[in-house]
Structure 1
Amino acid sequence: MKNTLKLRFALRGATLFFVSVVILGSFLYVTMSLFLQDSLKDSLRVTAQHLVSVLDVDNGILTPPDSLDEGSSSRAHPEGFTERLLDPTGRVLLQNGPLTAELPDPHVFRGPFFSQSTSGSWIAYTEGVTDAGRLLAILQVAQSTRSVSAVLDQLFWTILLSLVIFVPLSAITGYFMATGLLSPIDAMTRTAKRFSTENLAARLELPPSNDELGRLAGTFNSMLERIEQSFKNYREFVSNASHEFKTPLAILHTILNVTRARPRTLTEYAQALDDMSQAVLRLETLVNHLLTLAKIEGEPELNGTSVNLGELCLRIGETFRPLTQAQGLELVLSVEPGLEVLGDETLLSSMVVNLLHNAVKFTEKGKISLRVYRRESWAYVEVQDTGIGISSEDQSRIFERFFQGETSREGSGLGLAIVESLVKLHRGTIRVDSILGQGSIFTAGLPLRVA
């Protein structure tokens, strides 16, 4: 039989029931045995004391009766009851019952005592008959333990029968209970088998009760939704990446075919090489951006060091000054000193470079401002331009991979997606405020390093 969770649940339940019944039965058996033996001893003691009380003792002289039952004829003794009367020397005066030959010799009597056969088949009680402190006779009463054994045997077989009947029944009951309890897990298994790249919409039906299995089913559905969204993002990424690669490759292919169609002048060959160089540069930029994204996504946690954000932005800003001057743009740097964050300096540099590069690309005239300032426990990097701006419709999608708005110029469509990924990797936030035709403000917030 297949070793399923339901079978293990049933077997463990049956084992637990078996052990519980054995422990409880053993306790009950021992308790009942002690109780019955104590009851038997009490009965023998009471019987002996009654017999002693009815014996004829006058002035220190015991007159043995003809029978120990005299004066108590109404008393009914159980089967196996034995009684006998002895003088102080141990000589038998009277005896009655089947166990007379097995009763112990009291020898020197020092007081009442119980005795039991080595096989446990009987229990005897010995009592002295005295007058004024002088021992006149010795009375012994004994009872077979057959009735006690019969009760204990019946109890034993009852416990054993309950084990034979109820242990398998508990296993069967546990199996069906497990079937009901684990049905959501079976449903998860069936759903997981249906779930594939062709069928991403499979979901579990949530049970009405909000118990552990219900919460597990809800978590499972959430996981499936994330997987579905990941597949959608993956497909969109592959589609967009293929399109981005296809454009420069098509340009290269066209240039090569046209150039080889007939002999060209040196000027035409030089122009073709320039065009091919631009296409290769675009491919190189795209590949570098993809590698950067792969590096970011391959680091779920950042093992950063202390980075002076102000000094970093000043260095990067100064490297952009020749570029902005060449385009006739004013570059304004405003940095609050002493702002340190915990992060990767190379990745933070890439974040600032992409923000400045984006501002330069979309600003034809005016100025670009790079500002670093503190607000409470956060450091902010703000890049403001007077460029073409972003429409309100595009602002909600500006950080999506490969997204290029209507006013976008030639590029990979990955720069701002990289910026957002880098900010999130550093547990920060980023937002954009823009008015179409007036410019944009990108603000990245990073938590300050706690000293």
Structure 2
Amino acid sequence: MNNLSIKRKLLIYNIIIQTFILIILALSIYKTLQISTLDKIETSLKVIVLDIVDDLVKHQDNYLIVDFNEEKEYKFKPLYIRLIDKNQKILKSTYFPDEIHKNFRKLSKDIINFKKFDNYILSEIKFSMLKDDYVLQVATDYKILNETMQNLFYILIFIIPIILIFSITGGYFLVYKSFKPIEEILNNLKNINSTTLSKRLTTSQKQDEINMLAIEINSLLERLEISFEKINQFSSDASHELKTPLTIIRGEIEITLRKDRDSSEYKKSLQTCLNEVMIIQQTIDDLLFLAKKENTSNNLEDVYIDEITFEAVKELKPFANIRAIDLKTQINDVFQVKGYSKLLKIAIKNILKNAITYSYKESSVEIKNSIEDGNYVITISDKGIGIPKDEQKKIFEKFYRTDKSRNKESGGTGLGMSIVEKITKLHNAKIELSSEEKKGTTVKFIFKGNIDE
């Protein structure tokens, strides 16, 4: 049984249960009819006994003239009748079986008693007539009962297999009909692997368990697909972005080892390797951040936007000074949002760093906090080289750089804007970018706010 499918197990269980139920039902019917037939015989005998006694008492002066012709009168065959006096002498009788005794000393007066023998059933009554006690005995055999039970037996033997066949056929139909959607789900699942995770099971508007199972499996497949995409994306991104710095490091080391060099050349080579290692480290950190599972429901805190704005500006002030960029802050409104302070600071710093990197020397970058149309807004604007219109939609793609040479010089990985976009989505916020070549770029973080008028 352990090696059988659930479908076949159910069929076997159905056959066993149906057979057991039908056998119990047949036995119950058989026993009930037997008791009912026996009760009917006893009732008939009781009526016949009372009728004969009534005739005897009515003609007691000449009771011998009473005919025991109840077989014809009641159409009840066979009937064995006899009248016995108190001395157990048979006064009047039809043919009576020898195995039925005539001892009636323990009989109560005017009460019909029934006795059962191997082949006969006897009804007898003690009554008074002509100031003496007499006993009337009326018996019959089990022929009627036996014929009735035999007929019932043949009927059950014939009908039970037919019922069982119909029952098993119905059970077979129900089981296979019920399991057909599951088999379709299994067949569809067999065709889904790591390369075909985009496939989904067919669902309907039904609210049954099979459809709900298909919906849940589709939901599971969707989560698996997202996880696989993240893993594949991480692998491809890592191999793509780490290949270049590793090649540079290898080439630098091979060139340095070809001949002996002075200390300044070694230092220069080591500095080049160190820069590339730092790029690798930053790339891995950024990729790991992008691959993290998104969860916006845990560890939320009240974030004061003015505080993280000042912190971001303070940390990037030295970098701005090196680039000869003036960092300006304009805090028009003080507000707070629910979120993650460290992540929001990373997003602001990434935009600020890009603004500083791509601004013209001795220009300015401004960061402003304000409330616009009931929303909390962080605006970062620069007066730099800008972004071409055809590239503005691609700016949030991983590893995309508008100016590859300058980005590489600044140590960028091409992942900064992807990280900003992810952080923004984590906070259910929007990011808007507007830019014009050679004039500058403006980036806005927009958080939905509850403003009390």
Q: TM-score, normalised by structure 2?
A: 0.74
Alignment of 1:42-441 (within 5 A): 42-55=43-56, 57=58, 61-65=60-64, 68-70=67-69, 73-79=72-78, 81-87=79-85, 91-99=89-97, 101-102=99-100, 105-106=103-104, 107-117=106-116, 121-129=119-127, 137-156=134-153, 158-159=155-156, 162=159, 167=164, 170-171=167-168, 174-175=171-172, 177-200=174-197, 212-214=209-211, 216-217=213-214, 219-220=216-217, 223-224=220-221, 227-228=224-225, 230-260=227-257, 268-293=265-290, 296-297=292-293, 304=299, 307-310=301-304, 314=307, 317-318=310-311, 320-324=313-317, 326=321, 327-333=325-331, 336=334, 341=338, 348-363=341-356, 364=359, 365-369=363-367, 371=369, 382-387=377-382, 402-404=398-400, 406=402, 409-410=407-408, 411-418=412-419, 428-437=427-436, 438-441=441-444
Alignment identity in percent? Answer: 21
Instruction: Kindly report the root-mean-square deviation, in angstroms, between the aligned alpha carbons of the 2 structures.
Output: 4.4
Aligned residues: 427
How far residue 383 of structure 1 moved from its aligned partner, in angstroms, is: 3.4
How far residue 385 of structure 1 moved from its aligned partner, in angstroms, is: 0.5
| Aligned twin of 1:7 | 8
How far residue 8 of structure 1 moved from its aligned partner, in angstroms, is: 0.8
Distance 2:70 2:154 in 1: 42
How far residue 384 of structure 1 moved from its aligned partner, in angstroms, is: 2.0
**Which secondary structure state, in structure 1, belongs to the residue aligned with residue 304 of structure 2?**
helix
Distance 2:424 2:33 in 1: 76
CA contact (8 A) 2:192 2:199 kept: yes
Which residue, out of 437, 442, 445, partners 1:442?
Answer: 445
How far residue 44 of structure 1 moved from its aligned partner, in angstroms, is: 1.5
Q: Deviations over 1:363-416 (max 9, x none)?
A: 43544436498999xxx875321046777877777666x253646845334445
How far residue 429 of structure 1 moved from its aligned partner, in angstroms, is: 1.0
Q: Deviations over 1:87-137 (max 9, x none)?
A: 356543333355464267443423323424276x544333455579x7753
In structure 1, runs of 5+ residues without a counterpart are none
Given the superposition, is the C-alpha separation of residues 270 and 155 from structure 1 closer, same or farther in structure 2, using an over 3 Å criterion? same
CA contact (8 A) 2:401 2:414 kept: no
Alignment of 1:2-41 (within 5 A): 2-41=3-42
CA contact (8 A) 1:336 1:374 kept: no
Letter in 1 for 2:140: Q
Given the superposition, is the C-alpha separation of residues 215 and 73 from structure 1 closer, same or farther in structure 2, using an over 3 Å criterion? closer
In structure 2, runs of 5+ residues without a counterpart are none
Q: TM-score, normalised by structure 1?
A: 0.75
Given the superposition, is the C-alpha separation of residues 71 and 243 from structure 1 closer, same or farther in structure 2, using an over 3 Å criterion? closer
